[in-house]
Structure 1
Amino acid sequence: MKYHQIDRQLFIKNRAKFTAQMKPNSVAIFNSNDIYPVSADSTLPFAQHRDIFYLSGADQEESILLLFPDAPYENLKEILFLRETNEHIAIWEGEKLTKERAFEVSGIKNVIWLKDFEKTLFEIMTYADTIYINTNEHYRATVETETREARFVKWWKEKYPAHQVAKSNPILQRLRSVKELEEIDLIQKACDITEKGFRRVLSFTKPNVTEYEIEAELLHEFVRNRSKGFAYTPIIASGNNANVLHYIENNQQCKAGDLILFDVAAEYANYSSDMSRTIPVSGRYTERQRAVYDAVLRVKNEATKLLTPGTLWKQYHIEVGKIMTSELLGLGLLDKADVQNENPEWPAYKKYFMHGTSHHMGLDTHDYGLLSEPMKANMVFTVEPGIYIPAEGFGIRLEDNLVVQESGEPFNLMRNIPIEAEEIEHLMNS
């Protein structure tokens, strides 16, 4: 791993929080992700399943975490199963976790090689009544590929049909949405790396560079600062490309007078940051671009103030819609008749701002969090309003990452990343 080792106390705390909410005499099992094939002998880079990482810090394939807090014997209360490493694997694939190293990373004392998993599980199931299975119930999830976790659930149900089943996901949705201070520090690190990349492209960008050249500059800066790279597929959208919300081709030339919308950020230690900025290719905003830019920034600043404990996500978005409507009226993009005659299911402002303003963020860019429950302190949200005007050939989105506080305004993890138009122009022309 490129990142510095995380203090295992974080994972010890996370396991304690999870097991405190388990039913009596129950077992919870979490699997690592697969390494996914491309074709022939090619594979995609490994990315760990966030749940097993959150609970153990184990960041390698073919790993299983088992939690059994009511086990009759101490050595069965928590077990980390790992693929057995040897000299051959070390030569061909590189260092894998040894039992000693796994304890250093996770704080789990009982580390067992994976080949003994079924035998160990058989013993445990003779003591347990319930098993927690880990299914993906995130509100944005669309899973078409059978995962290692899904294969395990199928196998377990066949093998142990008499046991009761419970779900890990509702517990994890609540736990993972409220960050420990160590986690906020890791997200801050990802934001700091993102800042370095953004400042680099401010001095690099000029007319006739390509979107992919800018992408390369960002990737170089991220990796040289111990990131694996992008937290998500980067969007570097010049001109009218900005009006395609998930534009990822990044293959066009940036033309003088156009804007570039960035939705791009670094990860660090599997934690995400999520930034949007919009800059002028020529180093200066036109009068119209600046008017729209300032309107988006005002919406972002006002929306940020609404992220307070007790706020409901749905109501928050209704309030942001009112703020955006006011700005669109001021820009002449809407008139009073548009608002008076709007469809409540798709308000008038949605013509120019069609996506949500905020989502949970953390180990996943669109992180866990139950949207029906009130916001709490130490939840991390994006705030990302935008105005998209295809008829005028540009779109503007601005996005920061905010930590909800017990009182007062949220803490901005991207406070050091330039966002005011004057500062961006100054940096691009200095």
Structure 2
Amino acid sequence: MKYLPIGKQLFIQNRAKFAEKMVPNSMAVFNSNDIYPISADSTLPFAQQRDIFYLSGVDQEESVLVIFPDCPKKENREILFLKETNEHIAVWEGEKLDKPKALETSGIATVYWLQDMQKVLFELMTQAEVVYINTNEHYRASIETETRDARFIKWLQEKYPAHTYKRCQPIIQRLRSIKEPQEIEMIQKACDITEKGFKRVLGFMKPGVMEYEVEAEFIHEFIRNRSAGFAYTPIIGSGYNACVLHYIENNQACNAGEVVLMDVGAEYANYASDMTRCVPVSGKFSERQKQVYNAVLSVKKAAAKLLVPGTIWADYHVEVGKLMTEELIGLGLITKEDVDKEDPNWPAYKKYFMHGTSHHMGLDTHDYGILTEPMVAGMVFTVEPGIYIPDENLGIRLEDDYVIQETGEPINLMKNIPIEIEDIEKWMAK
């Protein structure tokens, strides 16, 4: 890993919070992700399953975490199963966690090698009445491959059918949605790295550069600042491409007079940042581009103030829709008559602003969070309104990451990233 070591106290604290929510005489099991094959002997880069990382800090494959607060053997109340390392593995793959390093990383003293797991698990299953199993229940999840957790659950339930099984997700989603101060620090670090990348791009942008060249400037700056890379597939779209919400080809030229939309974010220690900025390829916005840009910025500023404890996500989006409606009328894109005749299920503003405004963010770019429950302090949300006008080859989206506070307005973790038109143009003129 490129990131600096994370203090084990965070993971000790996260496990304690999870254990507190478990029913008596129960245990929970979390698996690492697989390393996914491409073809021949090639594989995708390993990315750790976020729940086991959140609870242990272990960031390597073939790892299993067990939490069993009421286990009769005190030493088995927290267990890590790890792939046994040796000199051969160290030479070919690099150093893996041994037992002392696992303790240093996670705060878990009991570590068994993975080949002993079935034997140890048998003893644990004779003592536990309830088993928490881990599934992906994110509201946007679309899973076509069988995960390591899914294979384990199938095996466990076949071997131990008489146990009661419960889901980890109702607990883990609520816990992960509220960030500890140390987590906020890592998200802030990811945002700071994104800031460096964006400022680098402001000095690089000019007519004729390719979208993929802009992408390359970002990744250069990210990696040199201890990021593993992009937190999600970057969107670099100039002109009409900015109107394609999930445009990821990034293979066209940035032409004079166009505005380029850049939806990018660095990750740091598996924590995400999520930024969108729009800049004029030629260094100056046209008057029309300024009008649309300032309309989006106005909605963003007003929407951020609504991120306070007690707010319901769905109600929040209704209010943002009202803000956007007024701006679109002011731009001449819709009329009051359009609003009077609108379909309540697809309001008039949706013609030019068709996506949501905010989502949870943390270990995942679209992080865990139960959207039907009120917002609380410590949650991190994006705010990302946009206006897309294909007929004008113009798409504007602006996005920052905010931490909800107990009182007052949320804290903008990207407050140092230029966003005002004057600041963008000044940076580009340097």
TM-score scaled to structure 2, two decimals? 1.00
Structure-2 residue corresponding to 1:292: 292
Structure-2 residue corresponding to 1:345: 345
Trace 1:276-291 onto structure 2 (pairs within 5 A): 276-291=276-291
Trace 1:227-242 onto structure 2 (pairs within 5 A): 227-242=227-242
Structure-1 residue corresponding to 2:311: 311
Structure-2 residue corresponding to 1:244: 244
Structure-1 residue corresponding to 2:360: 360
Q: CA deviation at 1:71?
A: 0.3
CA deviation map 1:346-368 (0-9, x unaligned): 00000000000000000000000
Output the CA distance in 2 between the equivalents of 1:169 and 1:238.
39
CA deviation map 1:6-41 (0-9, x unaligned): 000000000000000001100100000000000000
**In the alignment, structure 1 residue 428 sits paired with structure 2 residue 428:** yes
Structure-2 residue corresponding to 1:10: 10
CA deviation map 1:66-115 (0-9, x unaligned): 00000001111000000000000000000000100000000000011000
CA deviation map 1:266-316 (0-9, x unaligned): 000000000000000000000000000000000000000000000000000
Output the CA distance in 2 between the equivalents of 1:4 and 1:175.
24
**In the alignment, structure 1 residue 369 sits paired with structure 2 residue 363:** no
**Root-mean-square deviation over aligned CA pairs:** 0.3
One-letter code aligned to 2:133: I
Output the CA distance in 1 between the equivalents of 2:344 and 2:382.
25
One-letter code aligned to 1:78: E
One-letter code aligned to 2:309: P
Output the CA distance in 2 between the equivalents of 1:173 and 1:33.
18
Trace 1:77-92 onto structure 2 (pairs within 5 A): 77-92=77-92
**In the alignment, structure 1 residue 322 sits paired with structure 2 residue 332:** no
Trace 1:135-154 onto structure 2 (pairs within 5 A): 135-154=135-154
Trace 1:140-179 onto structure 2 (pairs within 5 A): 140-179=140-179
Output the CA distance in 2 between the equivalents of 1:113 and 1:280.
56
Output the CA distance in 2 between the equivalents of 1:137 and 1:126.
28
One-letter code aligned to 1:84: E
Structure-2 residue corresponding to 1:108: 108
Structure-2 residue corresponding to 1:95: 95
CA deviation map 1:140-169 (0-9, x unaligned): 000000000100000001000000000000
Q: CA deviation at 1:118?
A: 0.4
Structure-1 residue corresponding to 2:408: 408
Structure-2 residue corresponding to 1:29: 29
Structure-2 residue corresponding to 1:399: 399
Structure-2 residue corresponding to 1:126: 126
CA deviation map 1:203-236 (0-9, x unaligned): 0000000000010110000000000000000000
CA deviation map 1:44-70 (0-9, x unaligned): 000000000000000000000000000
Structure-2 residue corresponding to 1:381: 381
Output the CA distance in 1 between the equivalents of 2:217 and 2:412.
25
Output the CA distance in 1 between the equivalents of 2:263 and 2:154.
38
Output the CA distance in 1 between the equivalents of 2:238 and 2:145.
33
One-letter code aligned to 1:289: Q
Output the CA distance in 1 between the equivalents of 2:307 and 2:336.
28
TM-score scaled to structure 1, two decimals? 1.00
Runs of 4+ with deviation above 3 angstroms: none
Which secondary structure does the structure 2 equivalent of 1:38 belong to? coil
Which secondary structure does the structure 1 equivalent of 2:262 belong to? strand
CA deviation map 1:361-407 (0-9, x unaligned): 00000000000000000100000000000010010000000000000
Provide structure 1 residue ranges, at least 5 long, that are not aligned to the other structure.
none
Q: CA deviation at 1:131?
A: 0.4
Which secondary structure does the structure 2 equivalent of 1:39 belong to? coil
Output the CA distance in 2 between the equivalents of 1:245 and 1:145.
26
